[in-house]
C-alpha cells in the first residue's frame, strides 16, 4: 500500500514484517515453511515468496537493510533447489515431487533476481526447457506433478496453467533471450524477446 499511497504510517508495518521474516531465516539462508512444530520443512516456492517479498518491501521502502538476508536466501535457493538438468526440487533435500508450481515460481524468481546473479536467466531457461521436455502435454497444457514412479497429467488452471503463463511471460519479457514455445498442433513458434 505504501507504494501506491506514500503514507508513512503504512511503511512501519511492512518493515516489521520484513524484519520478522529475516529474523526467522536460518544461518544457511533457508526458511522453514512455518513456525509450528509440524511445519519445519523447507520448500521451493515458499522460499521464492520470501525472497520476492523481502526484495519488494525493501525496494518500495527505499532500504537495503535486508540485502544480506536476500543474498543468503538466494545462495541457498540456487544451491539446494535445482538438479543439474534444470528440474526444480520441491524440497531442498529431495527432488520429488516435481511440481509445476515450483517450475513456474522458480522461473519468476530467477528472472527477478537476475541482477544479483547473471546465471539466473540461464538457469530459468534450463528450468523452462526441463518443464517443456517432461511436463508439457502436446494437447497444450502443463502437467501438475512428476513423481518418482509416475506423472500426474492433470491440467489445473490456477495451480499450473496460470502460473506457467506468468512464468513464460516473465521469461519472455525480462530475459532478453529467445524463448522457444512448446509446440502444439496449432503452433510452432520461435518468439524473440525484446
pLDDT digits (tens, 9 = 90+) for 19-36: 999 999 999 999 999 999
Number of domains in the chain: 2
Instruction: For residues 112 and 150, state if they share a domain.
Output: yes
Query: pLDDT digit string (tens) for 94-138?
Result: 999 999 999 999 999 999 999 999 999 999 999 999 999 999 999
Tell me, what's the pLDDT at 155? 93
Tell me, what's the pLDDT at 192? 46
Instruction: For residues 108 and 181, state if they share a domain.
Output: yes
Instruction: For residues 91 and 163, state if they share a domain.
Output: yes
> Which of 55, 80, 105 finishes a domain?
80
Instruction: For residues 115 and 138, state if they share a domain.
Output: yes
**What are the DSSP calls for the chain, one per residue?**
-HHHH--GGGHHHHHHHHHHHHHTS-TTS---S-SSTT----BHHHHHHHHHHHHHHHHHHT--TTHHHHHHHHHHHHHHSB-TTSPBPSBTTB--SEEHHHHHHHHHHHHHTTTT-THHHHHHHHHHHHHHHHTEETTTEE-SEE-SS-EE----IIIIIIHHHHHHHHHHHHS-S-EEPPPBTTB--EEPP-
> Which of 80, 96, 116 finishes a domain?
80
Tell me, what's the pLDDT at 135? 97
Instruction: For residues 129 and 148, state if they share a domain.
Output: yes
Query: pLDDT digit string (tens) for 4-22?
Result: 787 888 888 889 988 999 9
When pLDDT is averaged across residues 35-51 and rounded to a whole number, the result is: 96
Tell me, what's the pLDDT at 11? 87
Instruction: For residues 14 and 106, state if they share a domain.
Output: no
Amino acid at each position: 500500500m505504501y507504494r501506491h499511497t506514500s503514507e508513512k504510517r503504512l511503511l512501519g508495518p511492512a518493515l516489521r514484517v520484513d524484519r520478522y521474516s529475516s529474523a526467522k531465516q536460518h544461518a544457511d539462508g533457508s526458511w522453514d515453511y512455518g513456525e509450528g512444530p509440524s511445519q519445519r520443512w523447507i520448500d521451493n516456492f515458499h522460499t521464492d515468496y520470501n525472497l520476492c517479498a523481502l526484495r519488494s518491501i525493501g525496494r518500495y521502502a527505499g532500504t537495503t537493510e535486508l540485502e544480506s538476508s536476500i543474498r543468503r536466501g538466494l545462495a541457498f535457493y540456487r544451491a539446494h533447489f535445482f538438479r543439474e538438468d534444470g528440474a526444480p526440487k520441491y524440497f531442498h533435500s529431495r527432488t520429488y515431487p516435481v511440481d509445476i508450481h515450483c517450475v513456474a515460481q522458480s522461473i519468476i524468481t530467477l528472472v527477478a533476481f537476475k541482477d544479483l546473479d547473471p546465471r539466473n536467466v540461464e538457469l530459468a531457461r534450463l528450468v523452462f526447457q526441463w518443464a517443456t521436455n517432461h511436463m508439457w502435454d502436446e494437447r497444450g497444457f502443463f502437467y501438475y506433478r512428476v513423481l518418482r514412479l509416475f506423472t500426474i497429467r492433470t491440467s489445473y488452471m490456477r495451480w499450473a496453467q496460470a502460473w506457467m503463463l506468468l512464468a513464460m511471460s516473465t521469461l519472455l519479457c525480462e530475459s532478453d533471450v529467445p524463448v522457444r514455445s512448446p509446440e502444439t498442433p496449432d503452433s510452432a513458434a520461435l518468439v524473440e524477446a525484446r
